Structure 1
């Protein structure tokens, strides 16, 4: 079945849909933006990219859809650990998306997603409260 027919079938009746205040969001895997649209849909497109935080909160995981297991969606994914820092993660994503022609339209979105993940994993510097000095009464 073509991707267009699949999109027509699931765009209004998917189990991943969440409707809030005139907007429709999607919680499916490999949807970078969480928006219910054909461009970002990870179920119907032949090629899809997913960026998630690693389970141990050290780095990110990039998942790609493979061509071999079209009828087995659970096993039709290749996962790559991006744990060597944000600069190398951005370089790996751009290399995969643009250089290898694997969804170059999603390259900027994937880079933003991985940067947000790394930013959230950065330790927050603790700010000490300033203590007010009391006036001495002598």
Structure 2
């Protein structure tokens, strides 16, 4: 089925749709949707080639999943790469290199998403002082 027909079917009827109070835009929580926006451009269910970036279970690195079109073998159509988050610049370069082979719309959002996730991996020192004031 073409992606246009699939989009017409699922655009208003998807279990991944989320709405916010006083916000007219609909959001989506499906995998391979980098922007979390319910639009045909960023939808991970209908696009043949897509990228997803998540934090791994240990919370120290990024998991980059890429989807390619293999209709006969859907289980092998997703490839996963792990990138350590200890060097954020190198991790962003790797994300850019992976996203370059995919859609041109995935490059900028993939780097933005990776940057946000890398920032969340940082540990912040507490500035609150404990003890008695002198």
Q: Same fold (TM over 0.5)?
A: yes
Report the TM-score when normalising by structure 2: 0.87
1:13-70 CA-partner distances (Å, limit 9, x unpaired): 01111122322110100111111011110010111110111111011111111222x3
- Name 1:79's counterpart in structure 2: 80
List structure 1 runs of 4+ shifted beyond 4 angstroms: 71-75
RMSD: 1.8
1:85-118 CA-partner distances (Å, limit 9, x unpaired): 32122111211222x3x11222111111111111
Question: Highest CA radius of gyration, 1 or 2?
Answer: 1
Larger CA deviation: 26-35 vs 15-24: 15-24
- Name 1:18's counterpart in structure 2: 18
Report the TM-score when normalising by structure 1: 0.85
- Gap regions ≥5 residues in structure 2: none
